[in-house]
């Protein structure tokens, strides 16, 4: 009875807190553009689809006994980070600036985030629309990291890591780069749609996770080939489709900049798919479907930071180079001894880094007056700024991720037992199997 009374008291306190925070912010007098709003709402839906698409992309590349666990790690991020973002994540990332490093909690529970636009971010769409669009970026970023520790992480440790990482790594970095008072933004760093915030940040965390968890049981000895490349291709196709919302939606308006971002996104992905396959063909003797899918994703990663600042010819160069770079990064990982089993470091870390540097090379005011000219247009300082931003984010994400994993390991095992890993996470962690024969 005492335990039941305590539980009722806790539930009542939570309900009262929700009621206090649930004071709505109503639309003001600022006129909303319905075309811009429709485009951002649609783009939000496209980006949301990317996370379960990522689950399929990753799920096809693991062994059959781990397919459901891998898909679930992506799917649950829509729920876990989606709630964290509404409660306090958005306020930390985009709320009123505190010293250039974090947002205040003035918008906790979405207080003061309503139907009226916030001119600091977008003057023609509801603030709620911008919030939800950014939510989908916050959702997919920790999901990307799961590819580094697939097939071996304890589910409880995974959930703790996801919440803490989103709060202590993603939210501050998003503020640094995208909030008006963020110190990297004020320094002049450019990141149109998440090359630094999403891909470099997740790639650095993925390296920390791969090192912290160690290699899979039987790594280098057992057959660990993808169990369903067809599933991976479906996932890659959904990612390519959703990436139009990811990049073109970041214009936050249905305008010429959105059209330009859409064109360069597709061009870079196409070029990278071809360059990956060509290099693989020369290097290994055969072009593969998995290579084409991975190449396309690398091209999407590479163009992301530059999508709103470069033209089609620059995107062709960015995509061609990133396909080759990421291919060799994946090939070389075995020499460094870490087990990034789904190539998060090689594709997102390396691809995002090249994309951020390429922004410093190819950015042009002729594409976007809100940006800066890059090195090829007479402004070498932008390349230096981009390099500094890359180094800051890599260092912060890697070190903080490593510390979080160490602390979580003190509370619960990071890895499943050897027996459970051998049997597979689907049956041992979730009590179900992906296929019944």
DSSP string, 277-303: HHHHHHHHSS--HHHHHHHHHHHHHHH
Are 350 and 331 in contact, with CB atoms under 8 Å apart? no
pLDDT at residue 3, as a whole number: 55
CA distance 289 to 221: 24
CA distance 273 to 292: 5
CA distance 310 to 319: 12
Q: Which residues contact 291 (CB under 8 A, 6 or more apart)?
A: 276, 277, 280, 327
Count other Cβ atoms within 10 Å, centred on residue 403. Answer: 13
- Structural domain includes residue 4: no
- Structural domain includes residue 18: no
Task: With residue 120 as reference, give the H or E element that holds it.
Answer: none
| Angle of the 201-213 helix axis to the 350-362 helix axis, nearest 10 | 160
**Cα diameter, the chain:** 74
Count other Cβ atoms within 10 Å, centred on residue 24. Answer: 11
299: domain CATH number is 1.10.3430.10
182-200 pLDDT, tens digit each: 999 999 999 999 999 999 9
- Structural domain includes residue 13: no
- Structural domain includes residue 136: yes
Best CA proximity match to 43, nearest among 115, 133, 118, 125 = 133
CA distance 110 to 194: 23
Count other Cβ atoms within 10 Å, centred on residue 295. Answer: 32
pLDDT at residue 19, as a whole number: 42
- Structural domain includes residue 8: no
What are the helix (H) ranges across 60-146? 67-84, 90-94, 127-145
Handedness of CA 349, 351, 357, 363 (dihedral sign): negative
CA distance 209 to 202: 10
| Domain of 321, in residue numbers | 36-430
Which residues pair with residue 153 across a beta bridge? 415
- If one counts the domains in the chain, the total is 1
Total residues found in the chain within this entry: 437
Mean pLDDT computed over every residue of the chain: 94
- Structural domain includes residue 343: yes
Share above pLDDT 90 across residues of the chain, in percent, rounded to a whole number? 90
Q: Which residues contact 34 (CB under 8 A, 6 or more apart)?
A: none
CA distance 210 to 334: 12
- Structural domain includes residue 17: no
Best CA proximity match to 194, nearest among 202, 206, 204 = 202
- Structural domain includes residue 81: yes
Task: With residue 101 as reference, give the H or E element that holds it.
Answer: none
Output DSSP code: residue 415.
B
Are 170 and 401 in contact, with CB atoms under 8 Å apart? no
pLDDT at residue 172, as a whole number: 98
Q: Which residues of the chain have pLDDT under 50?
A: 7, 14-29
């Amino acid at each position: 009875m005492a335990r039941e009374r305590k539980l009722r008291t806790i539930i009542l306190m939570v309900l009262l807190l929700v009621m206090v925070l649930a004071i709505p912010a109503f639309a003001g007098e600022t006129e909303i553009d319905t075309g811009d709003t429709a485009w951002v709402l649609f783009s939000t839906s496209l980006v949301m689809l990317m996370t379960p698409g990522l689950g399929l992309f990753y799920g096809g590349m693991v062994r059959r006994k781990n397919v459901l666990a891998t898909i679930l790690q992506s799917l649950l991020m829509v729920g876990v980070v989606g709630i964290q973002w509404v409660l306090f994540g958005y306020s930390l990332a985009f709320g009123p600036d505190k010293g250039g490093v974090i947002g205040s909690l003035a918008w906790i529970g979405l207080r003061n985030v309503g139907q009226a636009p916030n001119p600091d971010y977008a003057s023609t769409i509801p603030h709620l629309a911008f919030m939800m669009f950014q939510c989908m970026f916050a959702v997919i970023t920790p999901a990307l990291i799961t590819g580094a520790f697939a097939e071996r992480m304890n589910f409880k440790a995974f959930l703790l890591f996801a919440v803490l990482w989103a709060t202590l790594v993603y939210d501050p970095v998003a503020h640094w780069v995208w909030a008006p008072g963020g110190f990297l933004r004020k320094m002049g760093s450019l990141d149109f749609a998440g090359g630094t915030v999403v891909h470099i940040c997740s790639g650095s965390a993925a390296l920390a996770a791969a090192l912290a968890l160690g290699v899979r049981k039987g790594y280098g000895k057992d057959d660990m080939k993808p169990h369903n490349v067809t599933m991976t291709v479906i996932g890659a196709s959904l990612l390519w489709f959703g990436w139009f919302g990811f990049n073109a939606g970041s214009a936050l308006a249905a305008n010429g900049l959105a059209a330009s971002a859409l064109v360069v996104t597709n061009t870079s992905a196409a070029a990278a798919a071809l360059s990956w396959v060509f290099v693989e063909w020369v290097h290994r003797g055969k072009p593969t479907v998995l290579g084409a899918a991975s190449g396309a994703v690398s091209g999407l990663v590479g163009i992301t930071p530059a999508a709103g600042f470069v033209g089609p010819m620059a995107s062709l160069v960015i995509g061609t180079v990133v396909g080759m770079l990421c291919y060799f990064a994946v090939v070389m990982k075995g020499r460094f001894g870490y087990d990034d089993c789904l190539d998060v470091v090689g594709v997102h870390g390396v691809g995002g880094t090249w994309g951020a540097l390429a922004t410093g090379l190819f950015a042009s005011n002729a594409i976007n007056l809100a940006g800066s000219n890059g090195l090829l247009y007479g402004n070498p300082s932008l390349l230096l700024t981009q390099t500094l931003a890359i180094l800051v984010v890599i260092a912060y994400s890697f070190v903080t991720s490593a510390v979080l994993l160490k602390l979580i390991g003190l509370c619960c095992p990071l890895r499943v037992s050897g027996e459970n890993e051998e049997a597979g996470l689907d049956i041992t962690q979730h009590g179900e199997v992906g296929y019944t024969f």
